[in-house]
């Protein structure tokens, strides 16, 4: 088909696509760092309003620049229990609409302006920002540089794909196309699907379709079918990411696929009216007829077409007028594709947003939970990371709360162990404490590995500070598990050695336990806080609980010394008793050490 297109040209084309994808990555990561706080706040503040959820999904996609990445983020939030499945549906619908904005950027900046004219000056302007020590300025420089590389890659791709005028055999074939049938539409929908699966970028796939259509290879109706296939192909990555997640997260991927499948079906069934509507809309806006470009090319004399597409050709005044009409018609075609991409996703979202509950029921029917009632969890060990480092901090924050809750369960076991009198019950509870201590050790390692992986991504200064806070916090929480385990060993030793506590000592132990329990509850309130203000209030109230523990410990220490001196109980019993009290004091110290970390740093801010 392209006799003059060599393997070297193919490598150059792939390289130009690489420049585009790297520019998109840099552009997206810079935006994420600039708007990290808004991203984190948005995903936490989804309420029951479908419209608000859709708008938040739309805005998230504008920042992340990938609907698939946003859907993966939503899956992780559902897996973590931050969102329920019904709330996730509105986010997914909004994300699909948000991904269409990129097509407008490509159409306007890529075709209306000459790339070389504005890309290089913008690169020069971005350099001072890139080398700035200020985090926000540097992120802005990355956004600017990524934007430039994205369109530089687009310009290279467009120049490397031969003009239709250079393919006389293909031009002759296309001139006899006739009516575009359903078979042709289905074939190009499948091709679009495969392109999106291979590139893992809906924008790169849309750009390729735009270029092919703007060079006359694809009639407008065929390009529309390819775009619907690309939308469906973009749902594959969320399915792969959801494999290790819970059933609710998997159903988010199913809903995403259902949404795009419904869109593909209704567009293919109504391809003629849809194409006419897009044409009528653009002409009404004064942007020309997007469906006319393919016919325009086929009707032109091939020799004239060669001259119009040759940048070095010397044109007569008549040909200059023809070229102006040619450029305008090409631009109308590209604008039509961008318009359709937005219209198609928006219309499907409007059509389905009122049926979110039915989408959830259908997804549950397609993917039933065969394991019974599965608890929501944020699976650092079993689940997938969020695709963006900034949003992954939410996942780490949630998992740390789960970690603390599991560790603090050991305190209840310690209190129960202290009250037991039978050997069987003592052995059973002590074994359970030992098991939980091992769980805490393993969770610390897994969470630390996860956070370290997050730190390898691109984080803003707040995100980097939070990484250090989280690593310190999980170490301290693991220390709580060690302290509870040490308390259980002291109790076991007391029972094995036969130390008898007088009633006054037993009452003092229970009293100290009663002082420590609110501290642990305060720790969980800090870690579970839904926003920064609530978290700071919980930190302040928890810190006030430390002094009573210290004061009571000092009192009991002095009393113990006097009681031993007066021979109220054996010296070794007094040592065992104070060892247990000392562990309670260590628990209070560790809790305060954890909550202090959250006074000024939190992924919620």
* Confidence (pLDDT) at 66: 67
pLDDT in tens, 172-183: 544 444 456 788
Q: What is the DSSP letter of 229?
A: H
Token pair 């390898």 in the structure block, residue: 456
Q: Which residues are within 8 A (CB) of 394 and not within 5 positions of it... i.e. 6 or more apart?
A: 40, 43, 44, 77, 80, 82, 386, 603
pLDDT in tens, 512-553: 999 999 999 999 999 888 777 788 888 889 989 989 999 999
In angstroms, rounded to a whole number, what is the distance separating the alpha carbons of residues 267 and 270? 5
pLDDT in tens, 117-174: 677 888 888 888 888 877 778 888 888 888 888 778 877 777 777 665 555 554 454 4
Q: How confident is the model at residue 77 (pLDDT cuts 50, 70, 90)?
A: low
Q: Is 293 exposed, middle or buried (0-12, 13-18, 19+ CB in 10 A)?
A: buried
Strand ranges (DSSP E) for 433-541?
none
End-to-end CA distance of the chain: 56
CATH of domain 389-597: 1.20.58.220
pLDDT in tens, 567-584: 888 898 888 899 999 999
Q: How confident is the model at residue 379 (pLDDT cuts 50, 70, 90)?
A: very low
573 closest CA partner among 509, 482, 485, 480: 509
Lowest mean pLDDT among 3-17, 442-456, 519-533, 545-559: 3-17
**How does 72-99 read in b/e, with b if 16+ C-beta sit within 10 Å?**
bbbbbbbbbebbebebbbbbbbbbbbbb
386 closest CA partner among 66, 156, 170, 87: 66
Q: Are 604 and 531 in contact (CB under 8 A)?
A: yes
Indicate the SS3 state at residue 48.
Answer: coil
Token pair 């959801």 in the structure block, residue: 242
In angstroms, rounded to a whole number, what is the distance separating the alpha carbons of residues 390 and 457? 9
Please count the residues of the chain.
605
Q: How confident is the model at residue 96 (pLDDT cuts 50, 70, 90)?
A: confident
Residue of 41 and 557 predicted with greater confidence: 557
Q: What is the mean pLDDT of residues 394-423?
A: 87
Indicate the SS3 state at residue 268.
Answer: helix
* Confidence (pLDDT) at 39: 62
Q: Are 440 and 411 in contact (CB under 8 A)?
A: no
Q: How far is CA 605 from CA 34, 63, 79, 368, 536, in A?
A: 14, 18, 22, 37, 11
* Confidence (pLDDT) at 178: 44
For the record, the structure tokens of 241 come out as 């990411």
Q: What is the mean pLDDT of residues 410-433?
A: 89
For the record, the structure tokens of 328 come out as 């305008």
CA 372 remoteness from chain centre: 27
* Confidence (pLDDT) at 601: 63
* Confidence (pLDDT) at 382: 46
* Confidence (pLDDT) at 375: 45
* pLDDT of residue 604 exceeding 90: no
Q: What is the mean pLDDT of residues 471-485?
A: 92
In angstroms, rounded to a whole number, what is the distance separating the alpha carbons of residues 73 and 92? 10
* Confidence (pLDDT) at 280: 92
Q: Are 595 and 526 in contact (CB under 8 A)?
A: yes
* Confidence (pLDDT) at 584: 93
Can you give 384-452 as a three-state secondary structure string?
A: CCCCCHHHHHHHHHHHHHHHHHHHHHHHHHHHHHHHCCCHHHHHHHHHHHHHHHHHHHHHHHHHHHHHH
Q: How far is CA 516 from CA 366, 400, 521, 550, in A?
A: 48, 20, 9, 10
For the record, the structure tokens of 63 come out as 């920042």
Write down the H helix ranges in 353-371.
Answer: 356-366
Indicate the SS3 state at residue 521.
Answer: helix
Token pair 């302290």 in the structure block, residue: 483
* pLDDT of residue 1 exceeding 60: no
Task: CATH 1.20.58.220 in the chain: give the residue spans.
Answer: 389-597
* Confidence (pLDDT) at 171: 45
CA-based diameter of the chain, in Å? 117
In angstroms, rounded to a whole number, what is the distance separating the alpha carbons of residues 89 and 74? 9
pLDDT in tens, 234-267: 888 777 767 666 677 788 888 888 888 988 898 8
Q: Are 203 and 149 in contact (CB under 8 A)?
A: no
In angstroms, rounded to a whole number, what is the distance separating the alpha carbons of residues 325 and 322? 5
* Helices and strands (DSSP H and E) totals, the chain: 27, 0
* pLDDT of residue 6 exceeding 80: no
* Confidence (pLDDT) at 486: 92
Q: How far is CA 331 from CA 107, 246, 469, 486, in A?
A: 8, 46, 52, 74
Range with top average pLDDT, 9-23, 152-166, 455-469:
9-23
Q: Which residues are within 8 A (CB) of 65 and not within 5 positions of it... i.e. 6 or more apart?
A: 24, 27, 28, 31, 102, 203
* pLDDT of residue 376 exceeding 50: no
For the record, the structure tokens of 280 come out as 């009528």
* Confidence (pLDDT) at 141: 86
For the record, the structure tokens of 254 come out as 């199913």
Angle, helices 389-419 vs 503-528, to 10°: value is: 170
Average pLDDT, the chain: 80
For the record, the structure tokens of 151 come out as 């369109």
Token pair 């946003």 in the structure block, residue: 70
For the record, the structure tokens of 572 come out as 């070794």
Residue of 297 and 206 predicted with greater confidence: 206
């Amino acid at each position: 088909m392209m006799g003059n297109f060599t393997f070297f040209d193919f490598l150059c084309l792939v390289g130009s696509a690489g420049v585009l994808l790297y520019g998109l990555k840099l552009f997206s990561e810079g935006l994420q760092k600039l708007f990290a706080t808004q991203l984190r706040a948005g995903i936490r503040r989804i309420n029951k309003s479908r419209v608000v959820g859709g708008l938040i999904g739309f805005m998230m996609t504008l920042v992340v620049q990938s609907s698939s990445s946003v859907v993966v983020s939503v899956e992780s939030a559902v897996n973590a229990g931050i969102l329920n499945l019904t709330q996730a549906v509105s986010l997914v619908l909004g994300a699909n609409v948000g991904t269409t904005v990129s097509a407008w950027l490509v159409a306007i900046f890529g075709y209306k302006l000459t790339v070389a004219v504005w890309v290089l000056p913008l690169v020069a302007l971005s350099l001072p920002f890139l080398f700035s020590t200020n985090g926000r300025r540097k992120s802005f420089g990355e956004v600017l540089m990524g934007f430039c590389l994205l369109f530089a890659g687009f310009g290279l791709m467009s120049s490397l794909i031969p003009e239709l005028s250079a393919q006389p055999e293909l031009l002759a074939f296309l001139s006899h196309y006739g009516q575009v049938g359903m078979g042709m539409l289905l074939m190009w929908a499948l091709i679009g699907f495969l392109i999106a699966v291979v590139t893992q970028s809906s924008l790169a796939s849309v750009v390729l379709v735009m270029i092919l259509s703007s060079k006359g290879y694809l009639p407008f109706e065929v390009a529309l079918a390819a775009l619907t296939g690309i939308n469906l192909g973009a749902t594959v990555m969320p399915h792969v990411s959801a494999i290790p997640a819970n059933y609710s997260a998997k159903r988010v991927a199913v809903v995403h696929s259902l949404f795009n499948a419904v869109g593909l079906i209704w567009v293919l069934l109504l391809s003629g009216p849809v194409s006419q509507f897009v044409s009528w809309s653009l002409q009404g806006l004064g942007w020309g007829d997007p469906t006319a470009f393919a016919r325009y090319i086929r009707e032109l004399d091939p020799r004239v077409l060669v001259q119009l597409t040759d940048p070095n050709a010397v044109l007569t005044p008549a040909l200059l007028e023809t070229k102006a009409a040619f450029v305008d018609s090409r631009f109308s075609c590209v604008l039509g594709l961008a318009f359709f991409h937005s219209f198609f996703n928006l219309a499907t979202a409007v059509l389905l947003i009122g049926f979110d509950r039915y989408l959830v029921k259908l997804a549950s029917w397609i993917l039933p939970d065969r394991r019974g009632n599965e608890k929501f969890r944020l699976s650092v060990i079993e689940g997938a990371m969020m695709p963006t480092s900034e949003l992954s901090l939410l996942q780490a924050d949630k998992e740390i709360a789960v970690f603390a809750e599991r560790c603090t369960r050991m305190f209840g076991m310690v209190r129960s162990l202290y009250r037991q009198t039978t050997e069987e019950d003592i052995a059973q509870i002590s074994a359970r404490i030992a098991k939980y201590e091992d769980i805490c050790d393993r969770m610390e390692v897994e969470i630390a590995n996860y956070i370290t992986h997050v730190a390898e991504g691109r984080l803003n200064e707040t995100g980097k500070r939070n990484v250090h806070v989280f690593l310190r916090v999980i170490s301290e929480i693991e220390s709580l598990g060690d302290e509870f385990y040490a308390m259980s060993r002291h109790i076991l030793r007391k029972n094995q050695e036969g130390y008898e506590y007088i009633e006054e000592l037993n009452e003092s132990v229970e009293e100290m336990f009663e002082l420590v329990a609110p501290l642990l509850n305060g720790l969980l309130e800090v870690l579970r806080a839904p926003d920064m203000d609530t978290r700071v209030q919980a930190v302040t109230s928890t810190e006030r609980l430390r002094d009573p523990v210290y004061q009571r410990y000092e009192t009991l220490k002095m009393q113990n010394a006097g009681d031993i001196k007066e021979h109220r109980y054996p010296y070794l019993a007094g040592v065992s008793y104070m060892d247990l009290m000392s562990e309670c004091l260590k628990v209070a110290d560790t809790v305060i050490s954890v909550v202090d970390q959250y006074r000024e740093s939190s992924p919620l801010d």
